[in-house]
Amino acid sequence: MTAAKKQKTGGTDHPLLRGCGHIESGNTPDWVAALRETATESFAVTGLPTPAWEDWKYTALRALDNMDFARDTGLSAVPYYHAPFALPEMISLRILGGRLVKNATELPRGLEIHTLKDVWHEDWVAHYLAVPGNFADTPLEALNAACLCDGIVIRVAAGTRIEAPVLLSFLHENTDAEETQLSMPRILIAVEEGAALTVIEHHTGRGKYFTNQAATITVHKGAKLGHYRWQDEDKQSGFHITTTRLSCFDGAEYDGFTLTTGAKLSRHEIFADLLGEEIRCILNGAYRLGERQHTDTTLKTGHFEPRSTSKQIYKGVLNDQARAVFQGKIHVHRHAQGTDGHQLNHALLLSGEAEIDAKPELEIYADDVKCAHGATSGKLDDQALFYLKSRGIPENTAKDMLIEAFLGEAIEAIGHTAVRDAFLHLQNTAEQEAAA
């Protein structure tokens, strides 16, 4: 056993780095090479985080320690996939193995969508991505950067309001192989001054795989981004981690929502920097998990300038031995007078073995602010359940109605009407599947 034991911490031959396989170095811009090197060195030192790390206290990545990895080449066919919904004018794109599958869709004027490799020599791309980051606290982000070889780049030109929503479908198929497939999507979304865009992500697949995504999102002055994600990865053997760095400037609006129903283990870590005044930043979500699924939402919102609003409202339902972690921190810096910050996590525990760990935090250095945070957990309301049953509604249907109503309240807050309706419907579908 000892001999077979795999290396757990650090080293440049960490199984996850090895799993990334050969990364071509020809014709890559200098910033990419430099970033990979910094990130590799950082990951070699830290390795994967352990529960001894404060931010990882409730989420253990032990399951990844004893796996063999192989890079997802994106070549496996995914024939079964249908977009979960169709919205008017929706631009539907597939991402296989972290690479954008090119198609002939004609894009509206002012909207650019590229595979990273095609544009990484351009200055503006480097401007967003060539940040000499400090990866010490974000090893998963380091891992993504260490393996950087492609990605998805979306930009909307200043003043352009794109009505057509963009759907990005991240697909995985790895039901036969011994190794866990590694996929490292790198995303850049830039909404320039006064522009508007809606992006939907659907992460799904079958089999053994690990998606480790990193996203850089910038919403410029007066711009709007609606960003809605459905994490629907394989419930038995899919792993999903996303690290998002969001920057908003004066008057920007970011409306974010994550629906989590999938993955054996998932974590979404968002660093939201509100760098201007009068920004409205919504980071909401809902989760519904069963069996031994685990999800972790870690939000770090920084208010740097006056009069911005941030909201983080999550609602979740946990059954069986499922577990959810909610860590939220609102940091109000000295200049950020008039900040309005709101953070809540409501969880319903359907079984005695389900668990929620919620840690809302406020750190306030300005004196004129309005901030509230809280966390609740409870059970399904017995009275409500009896009322429904007394009208002839079978217990399971009655429970589903109450759960749907509970999560529906979170989903209702989605700012984009068509997406909101689609997500409400998704939630229902996901429940029916879970019940079947």
Partner 1 sequence: MLKIENLHATVGGKEVLKGLDLEVPAGEVHAMMGPNGSGKSTLSYVIAGRDGYEITKGRILFDGKDTAEMEPEERAAAGLFLAFQYPVEIPGVTTTNFLKTALNAVRKARGEKELDAVAFLKLQKEKTAALGIDTLMLKRGLNVGFSGGEKKRNEVLQLTMLSPKFAVLDETDSGLDIDALKIVAEGVNSLRGADRGFLVITHYQRLLDYIKPDRVHVLAGGKIVKSGGPELALELEKDGYGVFAEQNGKAA
Question: Interface residues with partner 1 (CB under 8 A)?
Answer: 381-384, 386-395, 397-398, 401-402, 404-406, 408-409
Closest separation in Å from C-beta 386 to partner 1: 5
The CA distance from 348 to 258, in Å, is 17
Closest separation in Å from C-beta 384 to partner 1: 5
Closest separation in Å from C-beta 402 to partner 1: 7
Residue 43 near residue 17 (C-beta atoms within 8 A): yes
Q: What is the DSSP string of 15-60?
A: HHHHHT-----TT--HHHHHHHHHHHHHHHHH-S--TTSGGGTT--
What H or E segment, with its residue span, contains residue 50?
Answer: none
Closest separation in Å from C-beta 87 to partner 1: 23
Print the SS3 string covering 334-355.
CCCCCCEEEEEEEEEECCCCCE
Residue 167 near residue 90 (C-beta atoms within 8 A): yes
The CA distance from 227 to 259, in Å, is 11
The CA distance from 83 to 94, in Å, is 10
Query: Could you tell me which of 246, 190, 249 has the C-alpha nearest to residue 221?
Result: 249
Closest separation in Å from C-beta 284 to partner 1: 16
Nearest to partner 1 of 311, 315 (CB atom):
315
Nearest to partner 1 of 240, 315 (CB atom):
315
Nearest to partner 1 of 126, 401 (CB atom):
401
Nearest to partner 1 of 159, 394 (CB atom):
394
Residue 344, beta-bridge partner list: 313, 374
Nearest to partner 1 of 157, 424 (CB atom):
424
Residue 324 near residue 318 (C-beta atoms within 8 A): yes
Nearest to partner 1 of 344, 369 (CB atom):
344
The CA distance from 220 to 197, in Å, is 12
The CA distance from 341 to 330, in Å, is 7
Residue 276 has phi, psi (to 5 degrees) of -135, -170
Closest separation in Å from C-beta 189 to partner 1: 32
Nearest to partner 1 of 67, 402 (CB atom):
402
Sign of CA dihedral 333, 341, 225, 147: positive
The CA distance from 133 to 118, in Å, is 23
Cβ-based neighbours of 114, under 8 Å, separated by 6 or more: 100, 152, 153, 154
Nearest to partner 1 of 134, 351 (CB atom):
351
Closest separation in Å from C-beta 398 to partner 1: 8
Closest separation in Å from C-beta 423 to partner 1: 14
